[in-house]
Structures are given as structure tokens and as C-alpha cells.
Amino acid sequence: MKTSVFTTFAPGIVSQVRNYGKLMRIDKPIGVWLLMWPTLWALWLAGEGTPDQGLFLVFMAGVFIMRSAGCVLNDFVDRKIDPYVERTRSRPLATGAVAPFEALVLFIALSLIAIGLALMLNTPARLLAIVAGGLTVAYPFVKRVVSIPQFILGAAFGWAVPMAFAAQTGETPELAWLVFGTALIWAVIYDTFYAMVDREDDRRLGVKSTALLFGEVDLFVIAGLQGLMILALVLVTLLLAAVQATFADRPEMRPRPFSVHDLDRDGYLDRREYDAMRQRRLQRLGGMDGRGWRHHRQLLDFDRIDGDGNGRISVEELGSALGGGRRLQRRFRQGSDCAQQPW
């Protein structure tokens, strides 16, 4: 009976793909959830309950890709010590099921995908993505140098929060950093518990962790961090309440997700994107009388909002126009009623 090439090599290919999946921790999705929850929280807060659908898909894909890339790089860096740690000795690189060169190629491939996803975002989010990449690369190395690598991991896991705000609104307000800080503390808490399992192996191999740093008072320190996280959550709630109260008193100050209209994600509105946004607004004002309609058409003219005349509107220019900034108030004095209309 003749044996085809497929039947000869297929089992080996499938087996190796499974090894790559294990290297990426696809069989252990808890890491994806731990990275996803702060990201979803930020997207919903930045989008005021309705995040941009395109951004949602980009960030969900980014969560999976970056977590996978981080796991691959971590195992590549730890390939010489993982065989001596009880919890990690069965990992593909530790057992030799995956060669170091294969792991490096896989990491580069995942990184290229992550870069492609980042390029779909606006400029502020792209700049923050560079920091995210640096944190991801730094973590496997810093645990050999500093005693608080869990804080670096927490920053890496929470960095999607300011990125989500920047991508959705074009800026990173105080709320974004408060949520980021909360996510960081949460990550330090659960990863310190995780590191407790490896405490003796880490001490023997010279790997540093907060579990070793906290020592016998680890549970007391973690309890303190949990209290700090609860306090941060309360502050997030109070800040949200204050913002909502401000919006209730001054609806014209309510922010609108800039990325909803920034279709090419370059951080600006060109004339085509602005005209589409303007047309939607004008359709909602169909009941205005002729005089008010003319004033509103004047208020929303592209060239009037494009203060620097570069052919594109920035977040600051749009916010100044819609919020009645001093630079444009003189021009819109006759149409002050229109200037108070929220988008």
C-alpha cells in the first residue's frame, strides 16, 4: 500500500502546531482573560458605554496576540532555567519539543501581527503601543535584576487601558490613568500569589519576585494591596460620578469619541471625514428655522474649525469649536445658541 506525502508528514506537522499552541498558552486562556478585562473596562468607559466596533475587534485581537507573544518570549528567555522548576519543566522549550530558533521566529511573527494591529489605531494610541511593546520585552529580563517584576508585568497587562482611551477619544484623561493604576495593583496581587508557588525554585535559581521580596509578611502586604485596589475602585466611581454631574450641568462639554469619525485612524479628521460627521449633525437639526440653520452651517464650516489651515482637524481644534473655545467664540458670537448644541 502506497503512503502519500500527506499521511507521512501530517501527524508530525499537527503535533508541532500543538506545541506552538502550548508555547503561546492557547491551552491556558486565563492569561487572555486577565489582560482582556481591563481592556474591555477601558473601551466601555472611553466609549461611554458604546465603544467603536472596529476598535473593539482590534483590541481583542491585540490582547490575544500580545499575550501569546509575551509567553513565547518569556519561555525563550527562561529556556535554560525552566527545566529545573517544577511548574515549568513540561513547557515545550524546556522539553525540547520546540527549538529556540522556532520560538524566536514565532515571536517575531506575532510581533509583526501586533504592529499591524497598532497601525490601525490613531497616532496617540500608536505612540502608547511602543511603550506596550517595551514593557512586554522587558518583563522576562527584569525578573533577574529587580525584586518587583510583578509591577512591570502589571504595567504591561494594564497598558491597554490608556491605549484604549487614546484610540477611542484621542486623549488619556485622569480617569484612564486611575483605571490603569487599579489594573496594575490587581495584577501585582494575583501574580504574587502565582509566584508563591515558585518561591523555593526562584530562590535557588536567582530569579526575583515580589513573593520573595514580601517574604513572611506576604499575605499582609497582599491584603494591603487589596485594600488599595478597593480604594482605587471607589475613586474611579467618584470620578465617574463627578464627570457625569458636570455633563448634566453642561451637556455641551460631553466628549464624543473622536475615533468614531476618524475613519483612517490617523488622529485627524480630513475634509471627507468631517463632511460625513457634519452631515449627520445637520440631519439631526432639520427642525431649525432658516436663520438658525444658516448660523449652524457657518459654525460647522471645515475651514473655520481648521484653525491652522493644514487641511485637517485635530482633537483640540474640534473640541475648541464644539466647546466654545476662546479662539472661535468671537466668530460664533451670533450663533451662540448653536454653539451650545452637543454632538
pLDDT at 328: 34
CB count within 10 Å of CB 25 equals 19
Nearest Cα to 278, choosing from 290, 267, 264, 293?
293
Q: What length does the chain have?
A: 343
Q: Residue 321: its pLDDT value, please? A: 62
Domains of the chain (ranges, CATH numbers): 9-249 (1.10.357.140), 268-339 (no CATH)
Q: What is the pLDDT of residue 99?
A: 93
The H-or-E segment that residue 54 falls in is: helix 53-77
DSSP designation for 91: S
pLDDT value, residue 246: 59
DSSP string covering 118-156, please?
Answer: HTTS-HHHHHHHHHHHHHHHHHHHHTTT-S-HHHHHHHH
Supply the pLDDT for residue 312.
Answer: 87
Check the CA dihedral 155-158-162-164 and report its sign. Answer: positive
pLDDT (tens, 9 = 90+) of the chain, 343 residues, equals 455 544 555 667 888 899 999 999 999 989 899 999 999 999 999 887 888 888 999 999 999 999 999 999 999 999 999 998 888 889 999 999 999 999 999 999 999 999 999 999 988 899 999 999 999 999 999 988 898 999 999 999 999 999 999 988 878 888 999 999 999 999 999 999 989 988 988 888 888 999 999 999 999 999 999 999 999 999 988 888 876 665 555 554 454 556 667 777 777 888 888 887 777 666 554 444 443 344 444 446 777 778 788 888 887 777 666 543 333 333 333 333 333 333 4
Q: Which residues contact 237 (CB under 8 A, 6 or more apart)?
A: none
Task: Report pLDDT for 206.
Answer: 87
Count the Cβ atoms, other than its own, within 10 Å of residue 263: 14
